[in-house]
Structure 1
């Protein structure tokens, strides 16, 4: 099977044009963007962004996400305690949404990116199609990663309008927003073509041997 790299073809990261690339790097003839067979330093950049996201994930879940004020006092809630507060207050749909978007989605995204990084760094040939689908899923979910920040903002506005209580975003909101941005950037910096490189190399060996025998 002939690959695009063997045919000296590379896709532009900016406009998506498939162009012929005689050397290891060049420029897109349509938009002038940089062309590479593989993103330079993809694994190193993705590792750096992912590790930073993992570090900030701790304060994002331990610092207060919501600060609730009422006539009886002020209460600071982390993401998890905020979920419990919303659940016990009867807002279980919002509680489930915040729990899934704030805790499960970032955690699963980081685990998925970590799996992709480890398997690519070890040049694993394990399930390349499934890993490619996993990467596409991570990229798709990244579009909805800020959903919980919007929920907290809308909830704060609704509570302040409809009752004597008030809800404000806490310092964890900043840390969590940075985590979201870092995970999105790490998914963007990862080059999914690295998943297929070991498979392509394995398929090239029999062909090279066959040609040598002739």
Structure 2
């Protein structure tokens, strides 16, 4: 099966790796005969297609969404001085940075802590639904979407890194202290769960849907 330059589907007289009796390791990409249980190079478990992959994707996705809610409602940063104490959420801290004349830093924090996580949730949900129910969007586009989500997942931790750096640098004893709030742990868990959800998704399922559609179209054409 293949995609033409215009995005149309065609059937090629060529075997897929699974039809040829081969399976690739998703960790080191080494190819082994189908039925091999463990990769001889890295020791990872070899599975041609995991029927429970989408279930794990949704399980980690729901856990990530549940952790993301308190990450944005509880304080990310707690600052205490001799005169007063202050707590800041992610969005509140970005607004405060903007008010203090640092719009660039505020934009980066909003993008990394709000925009990217929400985009990841939407993209992972769309990919899982497109595999289950089909999609008009080309498989190549969906594959690129998956690669982007898998790559940028780790960069969403920037807010937690900022809090950790501030907490370690600004410790002035009785004068002022900065400590991470409960949202820091919730946000870190949300990022980790989202990364696990993306890693649980098997991108080969995207191409399986294309092959199934081509076979169905070919059968209908022959009957006609």
The TM-score, its normalising length taken from structure 2, stands at 0.83
Q: Could you tell me how far apart the structure 2 residues matched to 1:208 and 1:131 are?
A: 26
Equivalents in 2 of 1:194, 1:174: separation in Å?
33
Q: 2:80 aligns to what SS in structure 1?
A: strand
Q: 2:155 aligns with which of 137, 144, 166?
A: 144
- CA drift of 1:158 comes to 4.1
Of 168-177 and 69-78, more deviation after overlay is shown by 69-78
Match of 2:89 among 75, 78, 102: 78
Q: In the alignment, which residue of structure 2 is the partner of 1:132? A: 143
Aligned to 1:198: 209
**Does 2:11 match 1:29?**
no
RMSD over aligned Cα, in angstroms? 2.4
Instruction: Report if aligned partners of 2:79, 2:87 keep a CA contact under 8 Å in 1.
Output: yes
Q: Offset at 1:160?
A: 4.0
After TM superposition, what 4+ stretches of structure 1 lie above 6 angstroms from structure 2? Answer: 206-212
CA distance in 1, matches of 2:119, 2:217: 38
Partners in 1 of 2:101 and 2:171 — Cα distance?
17
Report the equivalent of 2:23: 10
Aligned to 1:65: 76
Structure 2 unaligned segments of length 5 or more: list them: 1-11
Q: Which residue is 1:38 aligned to?
A: 49
Unaligned ranges ≥5, structure 1: none
- Among 160, 163, 167, the residue aligned to 1:156: 167
Q: Quick check: 2:154–2:191 contact (8 Å CA) kept in 1? A: no
Of 88-97 and 144-153, deviating more is: 88-97
Cα deviation code 1:45-98 (max 9, x no counterpart): 000110111111111100011112234300111111111122223333332222
In 1, the alpha carbon distance for the partners of 2:49 and 2:87 equals: 46
TM-score by length of 1: 0.86
